[in-house]
Amino acid sequence: MKKFKYALLGFLFLLQSMTGQQKKPMTPQDLLSLNRLSILAVSPDENQILYKISSPDVITEKSETSFYLLDTKGNKIQRFNTDHKAIFQWDEQGLYADEDGKIYLSKDLGKTWLQLFDIKNADNFKVSPDGNSIAYSKNISLEKVLGKEKYPELKNATAQIYTDLDHRHWDTWKDGTYQHIFISTKNNKKEVEILADKKYDSPQKPFGGSEDFVWSKDSKSLFFVTKEKSGAEYAKSTNTDIFQYNLSTGELKNITKGMMGYDISPKLSPNGDYLAFLSMKRDRYEADKNDIIILNLKTNRKINLTQNWDESVTGDLIWTPDGKNILFTAAQGGTKNLYITSSSNPGVTKLLQGKFDCNDIISSTNGKIFFTRTDFNHTADLFSYSTSEKSVTQHTDINKEKYAALSPSNSELVMVKSTDGKDMGVWMIFPPNFDSNKKYPTLLYCQGGPQSALTQFFSYRWNMALMAAQGYIVVAPNRRGMPGWGTSWNESISKDWGGQPIRDYLSATDYAAKLPYVDASRMAAVGASYGGYSVFMLAGLHENRFKSFIAHDGIFDSRSWYLNTEELWFANWDLGSPFDKPLPKAYTDFNPISHIDKWNKPIMIVQGGKDFRVGFEQGQAAFQAAKLKGLKSKFVYFPDENHWVLKPQNSMVWQNEFFEWLKETL
């Protein structure tokens, strides 16, 4: 009997090896263990791309990192070894790296290194084209807000004292410091502080980096982004400008003066004669149409290359080597596509379209455009597009073995009629090995933003493929407010948060409920940020469409939220102020707390303690209200996370609690 058992096991093992590895649905552990690709630098001739692959470990919360070079001509990849891991630039001088503030140059691809600069407590480095100067940013103390600074004898005091707004931003309390750009040269060790004594940030906080400044071709000036506002005025405005600083004279010139919205991402043309940048027209509107502007630095003439295009450009923007065209990405029709525009004549041409997203345009050389690509099932990999053959080539497959063990989901974009007769694109994501003869529990996914695109993105938290892999159909509507369906569709959500966008969600829900493979008795609504707000609203308006809810960092009471959030330009534009007369609907009919009397289903609430966009009080209040109403409810609180959950082990807790709740309540 024992011999037969071992023979059977041996046969089964042989059968599995002959048929290939047994595939399984993705788990949260699988998701968080996936390798991640990051672009570091591109050679000046664009014939080589330096990138790294990070392999995360959830237990240690650390990553093993490997470096690689892709030869863009021969499509060959080789390992790149260096002790100087913080590589930040590759130009005609060579490869630059930072190690503890010491800036090194290598002219032989990392075999030998020469120290050029010694910069302490700085980051966001950029070396000038001639190699003689370096620009960098660091925090400078300009205000005393700490109690122990004001009262030196009270060294143990923890007080923070503020007299104006912008006292906290995103996840950080203001400590009296500002980000300023400095310039140092090889021959003169003295630092030049561009915005000395000015209470402005450059790069912009909280997310600005080296993309906020760029050298001129002749190394004689620096272009950089800043907002000439502080305090309450800063909190109410999006009016950033691009300035030009002359190294020899110290002259500071606002080259986008009179342009009232965001002006960001300056990119110099290959010949140095033009500056391209992204621009929004209106102050206080952070989701305004993003256009590409080019400025002739000799004549000061500006051209809007995308003014007649009915979509908005994302942050990906590069010049072609000949300076005749600009490549960029933008959402359109449920995916993020690759586009090109002429630098002399307005107009836009789409280069790629498919069931994927194009991201991070890296280079354009030898008739190829290199970029990263994702879809619901796949994290970023390197691809190229041949402009002559109109074909796409994949160059990396960093998770090939991991993907081989997983059963992928399938997705389909369907058009659903909204209550006002418009066509709305809705992504349907199906479980692996989907069987249309079965009925599946279904999740309505509510996107955040509120004006962020719902495309074939890959997320390490809100992952569509992972949700589907647990046996759920995911319904993801491109409701009002989503980029990629025209500027009117995108803008219509402002001042109407609880109106048509919520009806769009219900239209998608009702469409899905009629499908033969959807179990309409087992539907849940889930989402974060504006998606969390949407879940709170739907909990009071759903009329028993849903059996369960999950809301993450959502606004529960808009009145109290307005007096706690930090970026007031967003609140004023999208909701209006609770001090306005007449009182905006955002604080009456469109306020989730107004509908708490109709909450009747289980709800899980997730909240970050360091979230200053949507303060933790919002999640706490919603949980307490649900509990006092006698509803099955859960509060998952992350004291050390902001509007996102970023720490690996916290992410694992998030995923486990998410799916545990759905199993319990659906």
DSSP 23: P
CA dihedral over 483, 396, 429, 466, signed as positive or negative:
negative
- Of the candidates 202, 237, 529, 651, the residue annotated as catalytic is 529
Q: Among 253, 262, 241, 188, which Cα is nearest to 216's?
A: 253
Pair 26, 18: CB distance under 8 Å = no
Q: Among 446, 451, 450, which Cα is nearest to 464's?
A: 446
| Residue 643 falls in the annotated catalytic set | yes
Q: Among 310, 311, 368, 306, which Cα is nearest to 342's?
A: 306
Amino acid at 325: N
- Both tokens assigned to 350: 């789409």
- Of the candidates 169, 378, 552, 643, the residue annotated as catalytic is 643
3-state class percentages of the chain: helix first, strand second, coil last, to nearest 5: 20, 35, 45
Pair 68, 50: CB distance under 8 Å = yes
Total length of the chain: 666
Q: Among 194, 239, 206, 222, which Cα is nearest to 130's?
A: 222
Write the CA distances from 227 to 138, 234, 314, integer angstroms: 17, 8, 20
| Residue 123 falls in the annotated catalytic set | no
Three-state helix/strand/coil letters over 233-288: HHHHCCCCEEEEEECCCCCEEECCCCCCCCEEEEEECCCCCEEEEEECCCCCCCCC
The phi, psi pair for 566, rounded to 5°, reads: -100, -40
Residue 212's CB is within 10 A of a number of other CB atoms, namely 25
CA dihedral over 456, 459, 463, 465, signed as positive or negative:
positive
Amino acid at 371: F
| Residue 529 falls in the annotated catalytic set | yes
What ranges make up the beta strands (E) of 387-472? 391-394, 410-417, 423-430, 440-446
Q: Output b/e per residue, 649-661; b: 16+ Cβ within 10 A.
A: ebbbbbbeebbeb
Amino acid at 99: E
- Of the candidates 43, 216, 611, 633, the residue annotated as catalytic is 611
- Edge-to-edge order in the sheet of strand 76-79: 36-42, 48-57, 62-71, 76-79
Write the CA distances from 134 to 91, 199, 236, integer angstroms: 13, 23, 33
Burial of 165 per CB tally in 10 Å (0-12, 13-18, 19+): middle
Catalytic residues: 529, 611, 643
